[in-house]
């Protein structure tokens, strides 16, 4: 299968000037993702997992190395160096990111938030509304809550909304930074169902999950990060997913 993301020799450190501190966060990271794969990243907290994600999404400015992403519209793009405007475009249309924290527009209802995500893709108003509703229903967000401001939501509700907002776009590449950390089992199942559906539709995913049971049978490969370095990659975790994919290919 074609490569969609190739991280080459990525390094990142933080220089905090007024404290005279220099923190090495990532050192020589190499990761490749092929189209349609689900790859997991594991490692202790503080090891640099999220930093990798934020470098890919350019919330952090990568220091050295390259992050090659094969875009549908632009072809190969080095996310570490691409112009800001191109990154904004890719964020709107191709690359999704779900973190553990919901970053919302104040005074914007849940429904509006998800709808805006679809509108960013260039869809029509009516369709956006319909897709947003469908997604919110899937995550069992109460009809009443949908027209409320998410600032007052419970942790789990916020998280579900966060995932809904990213997944409703059906991005080509989805970065999942522990999106299920504080969800109950029923909600986790919902997330899982949707992830399987997106994988079937061809979304490539890179995920951090502390919940190993959740990861199991879901990801194709795993990378482990320790102290900012990539350690042995257990190259192949055969999964039900692969079998599923084989079946669908055979068809």
d(CA 240, CA 245): 9
Asked if 21 touches another protein (CB under 8 A), the answer is no
162 touches another protein by CB under 8 A? no
CA–CA gap between residue 28 and residue 246 (Å, rounded): 34
Stretch that binds another protein, among 52-60, 168-176, 225-233, 238-246 (CB under 8 A): 52-60
Q: Is residue 23 a contact point for another protein (CB under 8 A)?
A: no
Of the pair 21, 251, the CB lying nearest another protein is at: 21
**Interface mask toward another protein for 179-218; x: CB under 8 A:** ----------------------------------------
Alpha carbons 170 and 164: distance in angstroms, whole number: 10
**Does the protein bind another protein through residue 14 (CB under 8 A)?**
yes
Which residue lies nearer to another protein by CB, 53 or 139?
A: 53
Per-residue burial over 50-82, b if 16 or more Cβ lie within 10 Å, else e, is bbbbbbbbbebebbebebbbbbeeeeebebbeb
In terms of Cα–Cα distance, which of 115, 154, 158, 157 is closest to 134? 115
Minimum separation from the CB atom of position 71 to another protein (A): 10
**Interaction of residue 107 with another protein, rule CB under 8 A:** yes
Contact flags string 85-104 toward another protein, x per CB under 8 A = xxxxx---------------
Say whether residue 74 binds another protein (CB under 8 A): yes
Contact 111, 143 (CB under 8 A): no
Question: CA nearest 49: which of 35, 33, 29, 78?
Answer: 29
Give the largest Cα separation in the chain, rounded.
61
139, 190 contact by CB (below 8 A):
yes
Considering CB under 8 A, how many residues would be counted as binding another protein? Answer: 21
Secondary structure element (H or E) that encloses residue 88, with its range? helix 84-93
**Which residue in the set 1, 2, 106, 249 belongs to the binding site for another protein (CB under 8 A)?**
106
Q: Measured from the CB atom, is 36 or 150 closer to another protein?
A: 150
To another protein, the closest distance from the beta carbon of 91 in angstroms equals: 9
Q: Which residues bind another protein (CB under 8 A)?
A: 14-18, 54, 58-61, 73-74, 84-89, 105-107
């Amino acid at each position: 299968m074609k490569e969609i993301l190739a991280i080459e020799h990525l390094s990142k450190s933080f220089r905090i000037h007024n404290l005279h501190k220099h923190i090495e966060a990532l050192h020589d990271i190499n990761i490749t993702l092929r189209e349609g794969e689900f790859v997991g990243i594991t490692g202790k907290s503080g090891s640099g997992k999220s930093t990798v994600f934020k470098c890919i999404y350019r919330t952090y400015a990568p220091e050295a190395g390259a992050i090659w992403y094969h875009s549908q519209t632009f072809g190969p793009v080095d996310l570490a160096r691409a112009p800001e405007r191109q990154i904004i475009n890719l964020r709107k249309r191709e690359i999704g990111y779900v973190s553990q924290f919901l970053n919302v527009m104040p005074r914007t209802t849940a429904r509006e938030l998800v709808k805006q995500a679809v509108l960013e893709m260039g869809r029509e108003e009516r369709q956006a509304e319909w897709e947003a509703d469908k997604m919110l229903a899937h995550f069992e967000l109460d009809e009443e809550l949908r027209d409320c401001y998410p600032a007052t939501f419970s942790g789990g509700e916020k998280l579900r909304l966060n995932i809904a907002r990213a997944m409703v776009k059906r991005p080509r590449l989805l970065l999942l930074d522990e999106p299920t950390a504080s969800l109950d089992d029923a909600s986790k199942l919902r997330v899982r169902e949707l992830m399987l559906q997106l994988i079937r539709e061809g979304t490539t995913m890179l995920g951090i999950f502390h919940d190993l049971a959740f990861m199991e049978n879901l990801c194709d490969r795993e990378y482990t990060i320790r102290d900012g370095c990539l350690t042995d990659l257990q190259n192949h975790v055969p999964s039900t997913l692969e079998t599923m994919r084989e079946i669908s290919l055979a068809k």
